[in-house]
């Protein structure tokens, strides 16, 4: 994962340079296709890399707090689940879009979990739910009862 962003960016740049350099129309179309696909990978890696780094750091350090995790499955995407995380102490709640580790998933329902916090980040960077690791796909939002309904 560490090399995905720079390699994809280099491929996109090389494909665009090649597009401007060659004269063959078929190869130019192929270069545009490679540049477009590489650009999509760059965007996906760029938007998710921070959350993955935070989750990895959360496995080694961080403060764990008991929580209750309520999962709602998103019908459009089997790999991402929508959820609400409520801390046992302090009753703070977050609305989350979570990704599970490869080969793991949770069915919709309510689970006892442990949220992991890093000292410099306000939201949970990792959630342990039994033997399943979950991390935010996007920045979690603090929620209140009216919003979480």
Indicate the pLDDT class of residue 148, thresholds 50, 70 and 90: very low
Question: Domain map of the chain by residue range?
Answer: 4-58, 62-148
pLDDT of residue 78: 59
Q: Which two tokens stand for residue 69?
A: 């995790």
- For residues 101 and 137, the answer to whether their CB atoms sit within 8 Å is no
pLDDT of residue 108: 82
What does the pLDDT look like over 21-72, one tens digit per residue?
A: 998 888 999 999 999 999 898 887 777 777 777 777 777 888 888 888 888 8
Using CA atoms, how far apart are residues 36 and 133, in angstroms rounded to an integer? 32
Mean pLDDT of 137-147: 68
Mean pLDDT of 114-121: 87
Q: Which two tokens stand for residue 132?
A: 């399943």
pLDDT of residue 14: 92
Q: Maximum distance among all alpha carbons in the chain?
A: 65
- For residues 133 and 115, the answer to whether their CB atoms sit within 8 Å is no
When the pLDDT of each residue in the chain is averaged and rounded to a whole number, the result is: 81
pLDDT of residue 146: 37
What pTM does this model have?
A: 0.65
């Amino acid at each position: 994962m560490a090399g995905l962003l720079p390699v994809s960016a280099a491929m996109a740049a090389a494909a665009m340079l090649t597009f401007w350099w060659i004269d063959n129309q078929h190869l130019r179309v192929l270069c545009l296709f490679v540049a477009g696909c590489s650009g999509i990978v760059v965007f996906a890696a760029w938007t998710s890399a921070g959350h993955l780094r935070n989750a990895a750091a959360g496995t080694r350090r961080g403060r764990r707090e008991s929580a209750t995790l309520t999962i709602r499955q998103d019908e459009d995407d089997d790999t991402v689940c929508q959820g609400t995380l409520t801390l046992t102490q302090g009753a703070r709640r977050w609305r989350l879009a979570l990704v599970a580790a490869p080969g793991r998933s949770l069915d919709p329902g309510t689970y006892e979990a442990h949220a992991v916090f890093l000292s410099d980040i306000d939201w949970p960077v990792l959630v342990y739910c039994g033997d399943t690791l979950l991390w935010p796909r996007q920045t979690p939002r603090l929620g209140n009862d009216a919003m979480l309904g």
